[in-house]
Chains A and B, each alone.
Chain A
Amino acid sequence: MNTEISGVIFTYLLTLALAIPLGRYIARVFKGEKTWLDFMAPLERFIFRFSGIDTKKEMNWKQHLFALLTINSVWLIYAFVCLMAQGHLPLNPDANPGQSPDTAFNTAISFLVNCNLQHYSGESGATYFTQHFVFMFLHFVSAATGIAALIVVFRALKDKITDKLGNFWDYFVKSITRILLPISFVIAVIFAFNGMTTSYAGKDTFISMQGDTVHVSRGPVAALVAIKHLGTNGGGWFGANSAHPIENPNYLTNTTELVAQCLIPIALVFALGFYLNKKKFSYVIFGVMTVGMLMFMIPTINAELHGNPAIAKMGVIQPTGAMEGKEVRFGPANSAYWSVMTTIISTGSVNSMHDSAMPMSGTMMLMGMMVNCFYGGCGVGILNFYIFIIIAVFISGLMVGRTPEFFGRKIEAREMKIASLIALLHPFIILVGAAISSYVIVHMPGADWAVKPSTWLNNPGNHGFAEMLYEYTSSAANNGSGFEGLGDGNIFWNVTTGIVMVLGRFLPIIGPLAIAGLLANKKFIPESAGTLKSDTSTFGIMIFAVIMIIAALSFFPALALGPIAEHFSLK
């Protein structure tokens, strides 16, 4: 077997081997059982005492939401102010200026919502202060927000009839002290010993072998890159993200980064089973997600290994595959694996440039983000999946003529309304965004803005449309990767994607939390012969069908105009 394919398979198996025990561990943490990280307890007690929080006070779903939204608003204001003022703040050895208001607006939202769309380049648009005290801080807390929200839903599924769903601060802080921080530490140490820089020194200058004077950006990168992946954030230190040789020096760090970004989303699926004592149910979910992942993965790897047909026609050889936008040390198979994982998991970091990928791969990446729940982001992946479960339960119930029930609770009109709205929100904000930007390009190409719409696109034709579609899909899915040829560093894109990111983050958290809270309050109906079993493969197929119908039907026309058309025109 060739070493590129074996590398990919090894990476996936390693992820699973680590995710299953981690899932068991996460369930123990949130059930309050003994774990080997209990030595963090004094630190947690100190944090809670300092913040004046009593973790014994249990909250209902609305109080959870209030806490979540309040602290997120604090971070938004904090991040926005820091980014505008970064030119005057310490830790700025390269003397980079503050961000413009619209860029700061976009960037602050982007990191707050775990999206990490970057309309600036880290080398010139951020300082060491904002990289650490804004971006890295938000990497931790945005991931912990997702996990904490998911644990509320776990709790609502578990208890019989209650509106007491634990304490939000408790879930949130423990996500950091028991999961994110310790694992990030281990990963960052691996990175440091593989050449990633860790010191706070500014740019260096040297004269190259050929006599060119070269300036080299660097900085305390390793700590950030660890949590950037572990928290499925994706916002990188350098403009080229994890394609950059300092941000991703070799195949070992690449494997580590890949495992790190898939680790928690997969572990949380297993944690669900351990937490609720319904392992079979989590296997069904895992199975559906994995089939979905393979469905996107195989065509992508295949397309990249075959190379670009247009370049093949010129007579040069592509022994490894398509190389535009890719790094030799990773190769096309691994870059393809990464680009699918990073899009289904909502990380959005890249180790190759997605804009230069084959159109088939572009289609798969877009679909990954359109579905946005095959594994999905830290916590929010399962929250998105939960919406599809509710819809699947409802439809199955109607099909067999029974009242739809899920875990002993009736699903009624109110829950279905919320679930449908959330499921439709995603295509709505993506397609409306793409439509508006297309309109502006066609009808106002010469508008007198800082960047004229006629110069937004880096590629003509269907591919150009795909660049815009990708940008909104990535924003709505809180992914953060891009077809980076798009000229997105201007007020139009900063503002529109900023709005899409906020809607795409908080509504899909509020919806599932509300459904779970409402269901937890309903009368518990004991399982009987008439109950729809949620832990069977039949139900798995049902969920899969619902996901594919919603994603395929709503997005297919847009995909057909973009990468699918390009695929058939490329010979």
Chain B
Amino acid sequence: MKTYLLPSLKLTLILIVITAGIYPLVIAGIGKLTPGHGDGETVSYKGRVVGYALEGQKFTKDEYFWSRPSAVDYNAAGSGGSNKGPSNPDYLKQVEGRIQDFLKHNPGVTREQIPAELVTASGSGLDPDLSPAGAQVQVARIAKVRGLSADQLTKLVDEHTEKPLLGVFGPAKVNVLKLNVALDELKK
């Protein structure tokens, strides 16, 4: 046993130092050179930090573009999805409730215009994005509440639409937080 146990103990010790000590410290050092300095990139509005660029936050007021439903209510101290199965009757009732709520707040919008992501919860509960269609369908409501022209808002959404990677890989998306910050800045 000694032939194996002693080398095992020593090898474990030295590998802990290398893989769990030195390696992440070097990465942390390199992280200091990145835009967020390794702490996470923040978004500011009027000189105040209003969120993290990567993490979604709750937008439920009519004057803002809504973010997706979240199983953790956008509490970024945790994360997670609803884990509801596709045939779960309670879940389907909940989705129907969200559809009706959306229709109530967005008069003039029909069911066939609502993209599924607006009535389904994301995997992380912190999804920062909407599809371009998910943002556009809310334009009429926001234009009315804020007294802005729909064209102006459509343009704003277009400007904030991020193209797929290299233009060809993956979906297009809109970061809801950045879009809403730009929306508030329009007022000035």
A506 within 8 A of B: no
Q: In chain A, what residue has the closest Cβ to B167?
A: A3
Measured between beta carbons, the chain B residues less than 8 angstroms from A314 are 92, 95-96, 99, 111
- In the complex, A165 has a CB within 8 A of chain B: no
Contact with B along A196-224 (1 / 0, CB 8 A): 01111101101111101011111010111
Q: Is the CB of B84 within 8 A of A355?
A: yes
Of the listed residues B6, B42, B164, the one surrounded by the most CB atoms of chain A closer than 10 A to its CB is: B164
Which of A135-143, A427-435, A518-526, A551-559 is found at the contact surface with chain B? A135-143
Judged by a CB distance under 8 angstroms, whether A308 is at the interface is yes
User: Given A51-B10, A239-B78, A245-B128: A70 and B5 within 8 A (CB)?
Assistant: yes
Residue tally, chain A, CB below 8 Å to B: 118
Judge whether A329 is part of the interface by a CB distance below 8 angstroms: yes
Contact A320 B131 (CB under 8 A): yes
| Interface residues contributed by chain B, number (CB under 8 Å) | 106
- Shortest Cβ distance from B49 into chain A, in angstroms? 5
In the complex, the answer to whether A208 meets B50 with C-beta atoms within 8 Å is yes
Whether A292 sits at the interface, judged by CB under 8 Å, is: no
How distant is A77 from chain B, measured CB to nearest CB, in Å? 10
Say whether B140 faces chain A, with CB atoms less than 8 Å apart: no
B180 touches A (CB below 8 Å): yes
User: Is the pair A181, B23 in contact by a Cβ cutoff of 8 Å?
Assistant: yes
B160 within 8 A of A: no
Check A316/B111 contact, CB under 8 A, given A209-B59, A240-B124, A240-B125.
yes
Q: Is A102 an interface residue (CB 8 A)?
A: no
Task: Assess whether B157 is interfacial by the CB under 8 Å rule.
Answer: no
Q: From A27-35, A155-163, A248-256, A264-272, give the one contacting chain B.
A: A248-256
Tell whether, in the assembled complex, residue B16 and residue A137 are in contact, meaning their CB atoms are under 8 Å apart. Answer: yes
Interface residues of A in 102-129 (CB under 8 A from B): 121, 123-124
In the bound complex, residues from chain B placing their C-beta under 8 Å from that of A71 are: 4, 8, 11-12
Residues of B within 8 A of A252 (CB): 165
Interface Cβ pair total, 8 Å cutoff: 386
Q: Is the CB of B133 within 8 A of A121?
A: no
Shortest Cβ distance from A457 into B: residue:
B85
A-side contacts of B177, CB under 8 Å: 209
Complex: A224 Cα to B24 Cα, angstroms:
8
Nearest-neighbor residue (CB-CB) of A486 within chain B? B83
Within 8 A of B (CB), among A287-329: 307-308, 310-311, 314-320, 322-329
B27, B86, B99, B134 — which one has the most chain A CB atoms within 10 A of its CB? B86
Residues of A within 8 Å of B180, CB to CB, are: 209
Contact with A along B31-57 (1 / 0, CB 8 A): 110111111111001001111111111
Contact of B123 among A206, A222, A317, A327 (CB under 8 A): A327
A458 adjacent to B84 (CB under 8 Å) = yes
User: From B126, which residue of chain A is reached at the shortest CB distance?
Assistant: A245
Of A75, A329, A359, the most chain B CB neighbours within 10 A belong to A329
Q: Are A184 and B87 neighbours in the complex by a CB distance under 8 Å?
A: no
Asked, given contacts A185-B23, A328-B122, whether A140 binds B15 with beta carbons under 8 Å apart, the answer is yes
Is B49's CB under 8 angstroms from A317's CB? no
| A193 at interface, CB cutoff 8 A | yes
Given A204-B40, A246-B40, decide whether A222 and B27 contact each other with a Cβ distance below 8 A.
yes
Known A71-B12, A197-B36: A570·B74 in contact at CB below 8 Å: no
| In the complex, chain B residues whose CB is within 8 Å of the CB of A136 | 19-20, 24
A324 to chain B, nearest CB (A): 4
Contact B131 A328 (CB under 8 A): yes
Q: Is the CB of A328 within 8 A of B85?
A: no
Query: B88 is contacted by which of A78, A216, A463 (Cβ under 8 Å)?
Result: A463
CB-based nearest B residue for A359: B86
**A478 beta carbon closer than 8 Å to chain B:** no
Q: Which of B35, B54, B74, B125 has the most CB of A within 10 A?
A: B54
A214 to B125 alpha-carbon distance, docked (Å): 14
A17 within 8 Å of B (CB atoms): no
In the complex, what residue of chain B is closest to A466 when comparing beta carbons? B85
Complex CA gap A231/B166 in Å reads 28
Task: Report the minimum CB–CB distance from B83 to chain A (whole Å).
Answer: 3
Complex contacts, B123 vs chain A, CB 8 Å: 240, 243, 325-327, 335, 350-353, 356
Is B14 in contact with chain A by the CB < 8 A criterion?
Answer: yes
B87 touches A461 (CB 8 A): yes
Q: In the complex where A70-B4, A210-B59, A220-B24 touch, is A251 in contact with B81 (Cβ < 8 A)? A: no
Q: Please give, as numbers and ranges, the residues of chain B lying within 8 Å of A141 by CB-CB distance.
A: 12, 15, 19
**What residues of chain B lie closer than 8 Å to A570, measured between beta carbons?**
86-87
B110 CB to closest chain A CB (Å) equals 8
Chain B positions near chain A (C-beta within 8 angstroms): 1, 4-12, 14-16, 18-21, 23-24, 26-28, 30-32, 34-42, 45, 48-61, 64, 68, 74-89, 91-92, 95-96, 99, 111-117, 119-131, 133-134, 164-165, 168-173, 177, 180-181, 184
The 10 closest A-B pairs by CB, nearest first: A198-B31, A485-B83, A243-B123, A315-B111, A353-B81, A7-B169, A463-B85, A198-B38, A240-B79, A223-B24
For the A-B complex with A195-B40, A316-B115 known, give 13 more contacts whose Cβ atoms are closer than 8 Å. Answer: A7-B164, A7-B169, A71-B11, A195-B35, A197-B31, A197-B38, A203-B77, A208-B58, A214-B51, A311-B95, A323-B115, A329-B173, A356-B84
Instruction: Report 17 cross-chain contacts, Cβ distance below 8 Å, ordered by A residue.
Output: A78-B12, A123-B79, A140-B15, A185-B26, A195-B41, A200-B28, A201-B39, A214-B75, A223-B24, A243-B124, A244-B126, A251-B170, A252-B165, A317-B116, A352-B81, A353-B80, A463-B87
